[in-house]
Structure 1
């Protein structure tokens, strides 16, 4: 294995806050937990898109050499049938690219979703244990494309 080693952490709301928010069931005594603020303001000429992904399982250690971001829209992944999954995120550097030095990886249980903020570089959906499905919600459309992909030197994630 050649690449930068990155230890996968348990989900931590404070550590993940610069990149987005974990989506969890309401706290005891609450009927709802809202995450709508991530989807304001609406990007110009965009429409909401909801689709379902099927993702083949991966094994640890994971190697990531491609990341993506969405400059104008948040992206929400809601587990429909997921055992557990890994997210890897990184901030944007001064030149607009992914900052590998700021990379963080989290092991998320299948009963929690995730919202990536706009401009956050992240690894594609990666599940462990078995095939899985997510509902994905985000804005799409408008005058400019909102999918950017970059190849990066490998990051190897371990448990």
Structure 2
């Protein structure tokens, strides 16, 4: 048995409780490089309890619909940014916390040019590019100690459709 999970287009207002949407969404903060490059400054806040920021590359296999969400994870010691290096859209599954477990699960779909930074401790699904594999730069905490909690759902969710 599973529950149906609807998907919303990713936008900074609805996603704010979970993290930052990293995108070009307004006028540039300034022009640099002799006017040939627009700088959109400080689009996400990295947050680590200790350790340091590191950049890793994730090469994720494509997911297809219907997509089953049966596990969520979180990183209590640091935020985690996913920046696509390909034009592949991807699902971002997030949830609130209730007594150490995810609740009120939501699903968002990115569009080309959008990336996300998940706040420290936010429950989220695994990296899920749709339609094609995706290469991602991931900025997250590098350091000693455990920084991963997983929660397997008693009743999985299923995503059958996404916005066009």
Q: Which TM class, normalised by the smaller chain length?
A: 0.7 to 0.9
What residue number does 2:131 align with?
A: 129
- Deviations along 1:43-76, one digit per CA (max 9) or x if unpaired, are 23x0222110111111112101111100121000
What residue number does 1:85 align with?
A: 90
What residue number does 1:76 align with?
A: 81
d(CA) in 2 for partners of 1:83, 1:9: 17
Structure holding more helix per residue: 1
**1:8 and 1:157 in contact (8 A); partners too:** yes
Q: Rate the CA distance shift 1:51–1:6 in 2: closer, same or farther, 3 A.
A: same
What residue number does 2:111 align with?
A: 109
d(CA) in 1 for partners of 2:159, 2:136: 22
**Count of aligned residue pairs for this structure pair:** 151
Structure 2: stretches of 5+ with no match in the other structure: 30-38
d(CA) in 1 for partners of 2:112, 2:49: 30
Scaled by the length of structure 2, the TM-score of the pair is: 0.85
Scaled by the length of structure 1, the TM-score of the pair is: 0.88
d(CA) in 2 for partners of 1:108, 1:132: 13
Cα displacement (A) at 1:98? 1.0
CA RMSD, aligned part only?
1.5
- Say whether 1:53 aligns with 2:58: yes
Cα displacement (A) at 1:26? 5.8
Cα displacement (A) at 1:132? 1.0
Q: Paired residue for 1:66, among 52, 58, 71? A: 71
**1:39 and 1:74 in contact (8 A); partners too:** yes
Rg larger for: 2
In the TM superposition, 1:6-21 aligns within 5 A as: 6-21=5-20
What residue number does 2:122 align with?
A: 120
